[in-house]
Amino acid sequence: MKYCSTCGHQVEQRIPEGDNRHRYVCVSCNTIHYQNPRIVAGTVPVWEDRILLCRRAIEPRYGYWTLPAGFMENAETTVEAAERETLEEALAEVIIEGLYSIIDVPHIDQVHMFYRATLKDGQFGAGEESLESRLFGLDEIPWDEISFPTVKRTLELFLTDFKNESFGVHVSDIRHPMEKNRE
Ligand SMILES: [Zn+2]
């Protein structure tokens, strides 16, 4: 950040009074511009024991397979964000079954949340950000072409839980460069 979004003057990095972290502070109007982690919300969409994955039509990870997910917008809930992303990327309407996986990714200041979901009518397609969408059997997951570590982690958890016929809520983290699970 270089300029204040309130008044347009320059910002500087300093620790505001009563705080203990460096923040961007406007040199003119003294507005403190806090920066906090962003939430990525998505689904694990299932239809007849198969998982719906989308192949990315955008960078990063163009051409790789992903669960439908994206940045939460203002004024929506995490469930709404997950439903919206699934509709946008996979043209699929889903019934949310429950929270499934929360993964903190502190080195990029993100929290990824995935909900278990069922396709409403088995219909899906490719939204603007996807080259294609496809249902994969649990033994067909393209592990070498999965887009992001949080998607891979969530799919691994899902396969294990599916075999055990028991779905919990999984809280974990992925830390750069080692993938460390705190479960
Ligand atoms: Zn300002």
User: How many angstroms does the Cα of residue 120 sit away from the middle of ligand 1?
Assistant: 48
What pLDDT does 180 receive? 47
Q: Residue 89 above 60 pLDDT?
A: yes
Do 100 and 81 meet the contact criterion of CB atoms below 8 Å apart? no
User: How many angstroms does the Cα of residue 31 sit away from the middle of ligand 1?
Assistant: 6
What pLDDT does 177 receive? 65
Residues 6 or more apart whose Cβ sits within 8 Å of residue 95: 117, 118, 120
Decide which of 105 and 182 is more confident: 105
Counting Cα atoms < 13 Å in the Cβ hemisphere of 109 gives 5
158 membership: H or E segment, kind and range: helix 149-164
Q: Residue 181 above 50 pLDDT?
A: no
Q: Residue 183 above 50 pLDDT?
A: no
Question: Sorting pLDDT into bands at 50, 70 and 90, what band is 178?
Answer: low
Q: What mean pLDDT do residues 87-98 have? A: 98
Q: Residue 176 above 90 pLDDT?
A: no
Q: What is the pLDDT of residues 106-159, one digit of tens each?
A: 999 999 999 999 999 999 999 999 999 999 999 999 999 999 999 999 999 999
Per-residue tokens: 158: 């899902």
> Out of 45-49, 54-58, 168-172, 179-183, which region has the weakest mean confidence (pLDDT)?
179-183
3-class DSSP assignment, residue 145: helix
What pLDDT does 54 receive? 98
User: How many angstroms does the Cα of residue 1 sit away from the middle of ligand 1?
Assistant: 12
User: How many angstroms does the Cα of residue 7 sit away from the middle of ligand 1?
Assistant: 4
Domains along the chain with CATH numbers? 1-35 (2.20.70.10), 38-176 (3.90.79.10)
Name the residue with tokens 């994955």. Answer: 53
User: How many angstroms does the Cα of residue 28 sit away from the middle of ligand 1?
Assistant: 5
User: How many angstroms does the Cα of residue 11 sit away from the middle of ligand 1?
Assistant: 7
Rounded to whole angstroms, what are the CA distances from 169 to 51, 124, 157? 18, 26, 10
Decide which of 79 and 182 is more confident: 79
User: How many angstroms does the Cα of residue 74 sit away from the middle of ligand 1?
Assistant: 23
Q: What is the pLDDT of residues 6-47, one digit of tens each?
A: 999 999 999 999 999 999 999 999 999 999 999 999 999 999
Q: pTM above 0.85? A: yes
Segments of 5-93 assigned E as strands: 11-14, 23-26, 32-33, 38-47, 50-56, 65-66, 69-71
User: How many angstroms does the Cα of residue 92 sit away from the middle of ligand 1?
Assistant: 43
